[in-house]
Amino acid sequence: MLRRIIFTIDMLSKSVGHAFAWCIVILTLGVSYEVFVRYALRDPTSWAFDLSYILYGALFIMSGAYTLSRGGHVRADIFFRRWPTRVQATLELVLYFIFFFPGVLALVIAGWGYGHESFAIREVSVNSPVGIPIWPLKMLIPVAGVLLTLQGIAEVLRCVLCLREGAWPARMHDVEELESQLIQTHGSGNAGAQS
């Protein structure tokens, strides 16, 4: 049952993360177009700056739960990784309740007020003469908080399973760093020689 809940939440995070990953493609096309018309045609756009920060902001905030589901957030675990798995799970469980959930709850509450106010006044960018709407980006803040909360629940359930079984449950992997692929393919000694 716990594994099914974890899988369902991980799949939701994956779906949202993959959907918002397309922001990079749109962002790349928009910035490339802006560079071309600015320098080749000497006719810059009035919307490129807003496009870049809105799309990058949406990508950044909406990929947090996906990154957490893959264990991809930056960690300083020089001591943590050497501890027994049950100690790791206990510490993670405690830290999720002390730091993670209160922080994400604050994000949801403050983000809702921030986003709702922006929506109510139909806020537009002050950086652009064309008045690009930015309220949709601000409305994503509480949505991202809810997704992070759900993924946090999945992480807590991972800790519970680790405490029960003595090993961390496997994570879904759909994207890996090239270095990880080289290590798996050639072993750690050969991968170091190739880099």
Q: Is the alpha carbon torsion for 44, 46, 52, 55 positive or negative?
A: negative
Q: Which pLDDT band holds residue 188 (cuts at 50, 70, 90)?
A: low
User: How much is the pLDDT for 81?
Assistant: 84
Q: What pLDDT score was predicted for residue 38? A: 93
pLDDT given for residue 128 in this prediction: 77
pLDDT band for position 194 (cuts 50, 70, 90): very low
Model's pTM, two decimal places?
0.82
Query: How far, in Å, are 83, 120, 153, 164 from residue 80 at the CA level?
Result: 6, 46, 21, 19
- Please, are residues 168 and 13 in contact by the beta-carbon 8 Å criterion? no
Q: Which stretch of 58-62, 84-88, 188-192 has the lowest confidence by average pLDDT?
A: 188-192
Is residue 46 situated within a structural domain?
A: yes
Domain that holds residue 119: 2-70+83-172
The residue whose two tokens read 């962002």 is 27
Domain contains 22: yes
Q: pLDDT per residue over 127-158, tens digit each?
A: 778 888 999 999 999 999 999 999 999 999 99
pLDDT digits (tens, 9 = 90+) for 10-32: 999 999 999 999 999 999 999 99
How many domains would you assign to the chain? 1
pLDDT band at 189, cuts 50/70/90? low
Q: Does 57 map to a domain? A: yes
Better-scored residue on pLDDT, 63 or 72: 63
Q: Could you report the per-residue pLDDT of 78-124, keeping only the tens digit for each?
A: 888 889 999 999 999 999 999 999 999 999 999 999 999 999 999 99
